[in-house]
Structure 1
Amino acid sequence: MKAEETVEIDLAGKTSLADTMIIASGRSQRHVGSIADKIIQEMKAKGFGNARVEGLPACDWVLIDAGDILVHIFRPEVRGFYNLEKIWGVDRPTGARLAG
């Protein structure tokens, strides 16, 4: 579906929410929706069951929660607003205690 700027973030050891987060962009609401639909269809076809989906039908952003994998698909300006790469990226400390 030609998702743009796809990033995979390893969440193992950072959170119990999931093991992997995938973030991608679509050029428009229609593109975001098409990417999400294709991913959902592929997950079902490969036996991953029914993932929980949020953000449809508006399609500014879509979250697909497949248990161990979270997939976020954004329009570029919405992706920049949430900036999940910075929040969950590789540079984020794991288990570090803040001095206080």
Structure 2
Amino acid sequence: MGLDYNEMCHVYFLFSYRLSTLMRLIVREGLIIGVKASLSGPQISHLLFAYDCILFGEANVNGAETLRMILKEYENCFGQCVKYDKFIVFYSSDTSKRD
């Protein structure tokens, strides 16, 4: 017997909340710098949508490694796997190849 729709939504909410908590802790510790939509706006480190998430960070080795560590920690703790075949990375047009 599987989970019904309401139970699945509840489980998804709990997993999303945990990922959001991990991201907030990493930002607070300065390991990732999010993006700002305006100079005075808040830093955005992640957006969660129905069964999808968008993570933001600096385009450098440290930022990429920290995001990878967060995803691995999420997989280990919650048993959900990241589908790397659906994983896409975007960079700003002013990101140098060196970064």
Same fold by TM-score greater than 0.5: no
TM-score, normalised to structure 2, is 0.37
- Structure number with the bigger relative contact order (C-alpha 8 A, sep ≥ 6) is 1
Q: By percentage of residues, which structure has more strand?
A: 1
